[in-house]
Structure 1
Amino acid sequence: MKNLKQATFLNNKELIDSVENIHIKKNLSKIFVGDTVKIGVFIKEGNKERIQYYQGIILGKNNSGINLTISVRKVFQGIGIERNFLIHSPKFESIEVIKSSRVRRSKLYYLRSIVGKGSRLKQRFRTK
């Protein structure tokens, strides 16, 4: 906040939005449900910090603004692993879209019960 007197004239919603806008990441690429993404997350091991990458399909997006979360699922050694990521968190480093898929649902929870070739999604080619 630039000035305390200016803050007293703001209503509660404007005050919360002004604080949130400081922490929202601006340089993120557009992501959609069904995209295969590679997400970099900061991991602390002892006194060192490194980036660990997690690659999977976006099953759903929840909330908006600073509370935006995505659910990402990958299959590792035949076991499905899901993880939720808070996009605007300081531990979230990067996101890279590897492949886009054409989907007709906003949540792809049905992929949890399908295994093998049935879980393939039709690829979508984006124009830049």
Structure 2
Amino acid sequence: MKKEIKTFEEKYMRKEKFEFEVGDAIDVFFRITEGDKTRAQLFSGLVIGIKGTGISKAFTVRRISYGEGVERVFPYNSPLIEKVVVTKKGRVRRAKLYYLRGRTGKRAVKVKEQIGQEA
């Protein structure tokens, strides 16, 4: 049974992989449909969590918009995601950055920046 599920899921898995981790500042280009037109809408923010595996993998992006925190969960394997661009690499020591939800201002999106290449 597991083998059948795995072969079914592989059909819907994304071929190209996104190269980002928790703590990175990213730009997500998400395709939306308005009437009969489609366009790519940009959502930029900080990755505060990645959860799930396989077809159910998802990541949460948080940003501050007009003084309010806005979070959006994107399915990793969604065909509506056109591309993900990493604008800044972050260096964090936790898997989930939910503690940023209680912060305001610049502290709400501030993460140590990764300098240089990791070995």
Asked if these proteins are the same fold (TM beyond 0.5), I'd say yes
Cα distance in 2 for partners of 1:103, 1:41 equals 26
SS at structure 1 position matched to 2:79: coil
Q: Which runs of 5+ in 2 are unaligned?
A: none
Given residue 18 of structure 2, which amino acid in structure 1 is its aligned partner?
S
Summarize deviations over 1:101-126 as a string: whole Å, max 9, x none: 11111110110111124331110135
Map 1:17-36 to 2 at 5 A: 17-36=6-25
Provide the aligned length of Structure 1 versus Structure 2.
117
Q: Could you tell me the percent identity over the aligned residues?
A: 36
| TM-score normalised over the length of structure 2 | 0.91
Instruction: Supply the distance in 2 between the matched residues of 1:84 and 1:37 (Cα, whole angstroms).
Output: 13
Which stretch of structure 1 is more off in the superposition, 13-22 or 23-32? 23-32
Which consecutive aligned stretches of 4+ in structure 1 deviate over 3 angstroms post-superposition?
A: none
The code of the aligned residue for 1:109 comes to Y
Kindly indicate which of the two structures has a greater share of residues assigned to helix.
1
Q: Which has the larger radius of gyration?
A: 1
- Give the TM-score normalised by the residue count of structure 1: 0.85
Structure 1: gaps of 5 or more residues: 1-11
SS at match of 1:23: coil
In structure 2, what is the equivalent of residue 82 of structure 1? 71
Over the aligned positions, Cα root-mean-square deviation in angstroms equals: 1.4
Please name the residue that 1:70 is paired with: 59
